[in-house]
């Protein structure tokens, strides 16, 4: 079916095929004018819907500084919300609390003397146990002799050994006494004496080295806390 259009220049009526594309230019055979025919049945292109921009977010509430205007009075203040001045103020405040009382020198000294004192106690107890066993061993022939007379020379020899083991027991007791004074920071001379006496047992050497530490000596010089 042909479509009739009118030339805008010479007003001549032209017949066009019905399958003519919309917007295609044609030439008038009468006046040679080029124009775009207006087709009556051509559908207008649909306009694309315009996207509506989202509304802007509401502004945050302004805190006036009063408790009544605070929307969340029980909120937790995070670390990011703290200003530099507030951080410095808190650091100074905590520093004053830490430095309000002088630090004790006895605590570090006791911490360093724990192992040497325990080793001295163990060494002294072993020496004392050996002395008791040796004393009983030397006394056994004198007490359980089955009614046989013991010669004077044998008696003197056994008594001499028994006296030696008594001295060994006293040696172990002195080591334990020095260890006790060392552990409680009661007496520096006694602590050093216990370490020197235990030097042949090798554990005393470590005690002497630790006792010569300036921090340990300062702990002995500091007065003990009141009971």
Domain segments of the chain as ranges: 2-35, 106-221
Residue 163's nearest CA partner among 134, 201, 120, 205 is: 134
Rounded distance between C-alpha atoms, residue 184 and residue 177, angstroms: 11
CB 93 within 8 A of CB 176: no
Residue 182's nearest CA partner among 155, 212, 153 is: 212
User: Is the per-residue pLDDT at 173 higher than 90?
Assistant: yes
Rounded to 5°, angle at Cα 190 from 102 and 219:
10
CB 127 within 8 A of CB 179: no
User: Is the per-residue pLDDT at 43 higher than 50?
Assistant: no
What's phi and psi for 99, nearest 5 deg?
A: -95, 10
User: Is the per-residue pLDDT at 153 higher than 70?
Assistant: yes
Rounded to 5°, angle at Cα 78 from 76 and 84:
130
Copy the structure tokens of residue 186. Answer: 């009661």
Instruction: Kindly report the average pLDDT of the chain as a whole number.
Output: 79
**Which of 48-57, 133-142, 156-165 has the weakest average pLDDT?**
48-57
Copy the structure tokens of residue 32. Answer: 């040679």
**Which of 152-156, 170-174, 178-182, 189-193 has the weakest average pLDDT?**
152-156
Residue 183's nearest CA partner among 175, 191, 173, 174 is: 191
- Binning pLDDT at 50, 70 and 90, where does residue 210 land? very high
User: Is the per-residue pLDDT at 62 higher than 80?
Assistant: no
User: Is the per-residue pLDDT at 159 higher than 70?
Assistant: yes
DSSP-assigned beta bridge partners for residue 17:
2
pLDDT at 148: 72
CB 37 within 8 A of CB 5: yes
- Binning pLDDT at 50, 70 and 90, where does residue 192 land? very high
Predicted TM-score of the model (pTM): 0.53
Residue 27, helix vs strand vs coil: strand
DSSP state at residue 53? P
If you average pLDDT over each of 4-13, 28-37, 161-170, which comes out highest?
161-170
User: Is the per-residue pLDDT at 77 higher than 70?
Assistant: no
How many beta carbons lie within 10 A of that of residue 211, not counting itself?
A: 22
Residue 173, helix vs strand vs coil: helix
């Amino acid at each position: 079916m042909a479509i009739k259009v009118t030339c805008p220049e010479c007003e001549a009526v032209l017949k066009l095929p019905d399958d003519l594309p919309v917007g295609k230019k044609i030439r008038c055979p009468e006046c040679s004018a080029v124009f775009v025919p207006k087709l009556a049945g051509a559908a207008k292109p649909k306009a694309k819907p315009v996207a509506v921009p989202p509304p802007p977010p509401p502004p945050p509430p302004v805190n006036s500084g009063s408790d009544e205007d605070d929307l969340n009075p029980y909120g937790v203040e995070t670390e990011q919300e703290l200003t530099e001045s507030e951080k410095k103020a808190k650091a100074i405040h905590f520093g004053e609390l830490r430095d309000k009382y002088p630090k004790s020198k006895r605590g570090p000294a006791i911490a360093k003397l724990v192992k040497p004192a325990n080793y001295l106690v163990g060494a002294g107890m072993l020496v004392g146990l050996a002395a008791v066993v040796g004393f009983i061993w030397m006394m056994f022939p004198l007490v359980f002799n089955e009614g046989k007379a013991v010669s004077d020379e044998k008696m003197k020899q056994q008594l001499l050994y028994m006296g030696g083991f008594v001295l060994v027991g006293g040696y172990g007791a002195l080591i334990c006494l020095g260890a006790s004074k060392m552990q409680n920071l009661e007496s520096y001379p006694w602590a050093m004496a216990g370490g020197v006496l235990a030097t042949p047992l090798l554990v005393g050497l470590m005690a002497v080295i630790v006792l010569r530490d300036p921090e340990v000596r300062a702990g002995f010089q500091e007065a003990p806390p009141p009971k």
